[in-house]
């Protein structure tokens, strides 16, 4: 090993080359050792779920290929690993792009202190958000708790997001991979092989992310504002799993979308898409300022909510066997693809917490394990939103009716029948309420309620009344 000083770039949730501020900074300083650390020790309960780990495996394979096999990979306590690397090599600086999960913030502060004590320079950058959470505050210096003023007054009046950076020249990267693990050594692929379909649907990695971005901008952005509500339409970007692990930056997405502003009739669609990027920012803003978000109700009155414990209901919800077709289609989409359409996420979430009266934690934990885009910020903020317990939450008494939601947002039944093939021959009139279909219609469609498709596990009207009565118990008069 040469005595020339080395600079570490630590890949984390930025598994890309383009628009990577930390990587660019490290390369500007000279020779660079690129590393990745799977830190399941400090993450504790917040370590990646099974679907995200499957994605991470393929994303790291893709990244290492882009780095021509020079990514050094480690597993364990990041502080100890980085200290060990700096002892073995003549390291002059370590740089990384900031992460905003509470456990990472706490760990990274310790790492920075230790490195600087030993004379190693530390540089950190914003590589995963359009606006830093500590920069977007109300005029009194407190954090926003309502989305619209956060985005319109806070974000859109702040300095614009930085422009994306080009891919750097990788000629100065150093290869010490003989001292590190391989991607396979991280053992990220789940033991239960339920992800066969996912392999045919997704292309993890930076190239897959950029391809997905251009497909959406060319074919899905026009009509996005309305079309995004219909799960059978192509007006969703499906970029969230790529943004989740930083295969593409929100800055790249933000500015690439704006290149479409000259397309006739796209103005409202573009503004709405950008505001959805704003929702992701808002979730991180909440997590940063309220680090207990994944565990505790933001609205404390919900601490007294009479949630039920019902293992049977929980299992039927997870397996898509509730007897309500739009709910079951969504839960089966999740299991088969690692993804769920956003409108359907709201429907299945409302059903869990309001019709089944199960705690939002149960939904949050299941989504955390099954979603390929399970960001801690977005997952916990969204579940608190649907439960009514979060910031700017949907009112608890807003209870999605799975029959009317199915009729309105999947009017031809294309999405529902795709994931519930046992109902494919049922006329649309009865698709979302098969228990009301006459016996001869059910027979013609080969639907045997209670056998090949379940009876409803709760009555909608009764469960809605129960939910409203429960809410009345905690409502502040």
Active site residues: 276, 279, 307, 342, 360, 383
DSSP label of 166? P
- Report the candidate in 296, 301, 306 with the shortest Cα–Cα distance to residue 468: 306
Give the H/E segment covering residue 84: helix 78-88
Cα gap 398→464, rounded to integer Å: 10
Q: Residues 120, 7: contact at Cβ < 8 Å?
A: no
The encoded tokens of residue 383 equal 């579940």
- Burial pattern 161-174, b for ≥16 Cβ within 10 A else e, equals bbebbeebeeeebb
Please tell me whether residue 136 adopts helix, strand or coil conformation. coil
Give the H/E segment covering residue 124: strand 121-125
Cα gap 284→101, rounded to integer Å: 8
The encoded tokens of residue 102 equal 């509470």
Number of Cβ within a 10 Å radius of residue 262: 7
Query: Could you identify the residue written with the tokens 């096999």?
Result: 69
- Report the candidate in 180, 7, 181 with the shortest Cα–Cα distance to residue 89: 7
Q: How far is CA 448 from CA 315, 322, 422, in A?
A: 21, 15, 9
Number of Cβ within a 10 Å radius of residue 86: 19
Cα gap 10→326, rounded to integer Å: 43
Residue by residue, DSSP assigns 168-198 as PP-TTB---GGGSB-TGGG--S-SS---HHH
Looking at the DSSP bridge assignments, the partners of residue 181 are 73
Looking at the DSSP bridge assignments, the partners of residue 94 are 8, 122
Give the H/E segment covering residue 38: strand 32-38
The separation between CA 360 and the C-alpha centre of its own chain, rounded to angstroms, equals: 16
**Residue ranges of the alpha helices (H) in 158-310?**
196-201, 206-219, 224-227, 240-244, 250-258, 267-289
Q: How many residues does the chain have?
A: 477
- Report the candidate in 148, 225, 104 with the shortest Cα–Cα distance to residue 391: 148
Rg (CA), the chain: 24
């Amino acid at each position: 090993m040469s005595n020339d000083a080395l600079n570490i770039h630590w890949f984390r949730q930025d598994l890309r080359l383009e628009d990577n501020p930390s990587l660019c900074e490290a390369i500007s300083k000279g020779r660079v050792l690129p590393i990745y650390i799977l830190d399941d020790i400090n993450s504790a309960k917040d370590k990646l779920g099974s679907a995200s780990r499957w994605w991470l495996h393929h994303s790291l394979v893709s990244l290492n290929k882009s780095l021509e096999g020079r990514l050094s990979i480690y597993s364990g306590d990041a502080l100890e690993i980085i200290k060990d690397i700096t002892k073995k090599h003549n390291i002059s600086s370590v740089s990384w792009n900031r992460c905003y999960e509470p456990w990472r913030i706490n760990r990274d502060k310790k790492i920075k202190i230790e490195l600087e004590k030993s004379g190693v320079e530390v540089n950190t950058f914003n590589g995963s958000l359009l606006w830093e959470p500590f920069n977007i505050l109300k005029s009194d210096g407190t954090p926003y708790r309502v989305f619209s003023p956060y985005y319109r007054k806070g974000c859109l009046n702040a300095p614009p997001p930085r422009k994306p950076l080009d891919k750097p020249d990788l000629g100065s990267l150093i290869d010490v991979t003989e001292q590190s693990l391989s991607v396979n050594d991280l053992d990220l692929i789940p033991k239960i092989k339920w992800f066969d379909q996912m392999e045919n649907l997704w292309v993890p990695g930076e190239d897959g992310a950029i391809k997905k971005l251009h497909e959406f901008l060319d074919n899905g952005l026009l009509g996005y504002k309305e079309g995004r509500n219909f799960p059978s339409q192509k007006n969703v970007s499906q970029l969230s799993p790529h943004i989740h692990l930083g295969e593409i930056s929100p800055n790249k997405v933000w500015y690439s979308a704006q290149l479409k502003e000259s397309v006739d009739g796209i103005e409202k669609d573009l503004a709405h898409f950008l505001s959805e990027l704003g929702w992701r920012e808002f979730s991180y803003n909440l997590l940063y300022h309220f680090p207990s978000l994944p565990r505790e109700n933001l609205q404390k009155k919900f601490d007294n909510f009479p949630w039920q414990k019902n293992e049977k209901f929980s299992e039927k919800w997870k397996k898509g066997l509730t007897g309500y077709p739009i709910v079951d289609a969504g839960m089966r989409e999740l299991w088969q693809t690692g993804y769920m359409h956003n409108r359907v996420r709201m429907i299945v979430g409302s059903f869990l917490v309001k019709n089944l009266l199960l705690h939002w934690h149960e939904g949050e934990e299941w989504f955390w394990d099954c979603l390929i885009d399970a960001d801690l910020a977005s997952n916990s903020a969204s579940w608190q939103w649907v439960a009514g317990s979060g910031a700017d939450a949907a009112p608890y008494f807003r209870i999605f009716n799975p029959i009317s939601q199915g009729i309105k947002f999947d009017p031809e039944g294309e999405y529902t029948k795709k994931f519930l093939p046992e109902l494919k021959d049922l006329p649309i009139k009865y698709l979302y309420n098969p228990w009301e279909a006459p016996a001869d219609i059910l027979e013609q469609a080969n639907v045997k309620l209670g056998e090949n498709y379940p009876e409803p596990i709760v009555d909608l009207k009764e469960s809605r009344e129960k939910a409203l009565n429960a809410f009345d118990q905690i409502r502040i008069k």
